[in-house]
Amino acid sequence: MKAKKRYGQNFLIDSYYINRIIETINVFSNDLIIEIGPGKGALTKLLKEKKVELRAYEIDLDLKPILDPLNDELTHIYYQDFLQVKDFPLDRNIIIVGNLPYYITTPILEHIIDENINPKKIIIMVQKEVADRFLAQPHTKEYGYFTIWLNHFFKTEKIVDVPPKAFNPPPKVTSTILKLTRKSLPDIDLKKYQKLLQDSFKQKRKTLKNNLSNYDWLKIKEVLDSFNLKENVRAEELREEVYLAILNKME
């Protein structure tokens, strides 16, 4: 079977990198593993050895002959778009694993957050350029709204870069395996916080003051002063604690 461009398919075939993913996953008996895009099942076969419930979501029906034999009492293959899945068991400890199509990496992570799945760990393969944005620090061009939003929920760590030759067919870019570990969250209004971050970064070349012109700037300035930050600061210069302080001041 040939990989399909419309699904962003690049099948991971190198056992070294497959095992690097597997070795990051420690499970207990009642844990649930969710695999996004099992492809030809190279990772799925090793996830089955964890002996816990495994749900794999594959959008490509042509892979049924390869994946169907993996079904058993603990492993369930679902042929549907993960972005359309809503019925997650929120009372379970969930671990999410996947070699994510590059073009929908961020929508998949947004779906995980929006559906309040609250996984204890996510191990994903993404394009290195995307991983660099997720791992970015303030004062860098890669640092943006989604960097802060994702890292509000998860501690993000790089496991290893993966060369194109580890895939079939090989992509034109280097990939990165990331581990995201759930954080304890402060009790805040997440919708207001998300809007604050989005508004702050809506035009990255402009100052925070320009981007937040509809906000009470005097209150924001009080927060900036408390962190010894200038009034003409830009959004990418602020750590998350500053944004949380601004949100708290707005409340």
Q: Is the pLDDT score of 4 beyond 80?
A: no
User: Mean pLDDT across the stretch 155-181?
Assistant: 95
Q: Is the pLDDT score of 2 beyond 80?
A: no
pLDDT of 3 reads 53
pLDDT-based confidence at residue 168 (cuts at 50, 70, 90):
confident
Tokens of 14: 């190198």
Percent of the chain with pLDDT over 90: 83
Location of each CATH 3.40.50.150 domain in the chain: 5-182
Superfamily of domain 5-182: Vaccinia Virus protein VP39 (3.40.50.150)
Location of each CATH 1.10.8.100 domain in the chain: 190-250
Burial of 246 (C-beta count, 10 Å sphere; 0-12/13-18/19+): buried
Cα–Cα separations (whole angstroms), residue 109 to 22, 96, 230: 20, 10, 33
pLDDT of 101 reads 80
What's the pLDDT tens digit per position in 176-231?
999 999 999 999 999 999 999 999 999 988 999 999 999 999 999 999 999 999 99
pLDDT of 251 reads 82
> Which strand ranges, in their side-by-side order, compose the sheet holding 175-182?
75-78, 53-57, 32-36, 94-99, 121-127, 175-182, 154-162
* Of the candidates 46, 55, 126, 122, the residue with the CA atom closest to the CA atom of residue 89: 55
State pTM to two decimals: 0.92
Averaged pLDDT score across all residues of the chain: 93
pLDDT of 201 reads 97
Class of 190-250 in CATH:
mainly alpha
Give strand pairing partners of 11: 168
Cα–Cα separations (whole angstroms), residue 224 to 31, 83, 207, 244: 43, 38, 13, 12
Crossing angle between the packed helical segments 105-114 and 145-153, to the nearest 10 degrees: 50
Q: Is the pLDDT score of 22 beyond 70?
A: yes
Tokens of 43: 């990772």
pLDDT-based confidence at residue 28 (cuts at 50, 70, 90):
very high
Of all helices (H) and strands (E), which one includes residue 199?
helix 190-200
Of all helices (H) and strands (E), which one includes residue 179?
strand 175-182
pLDDT of 135 reads 98
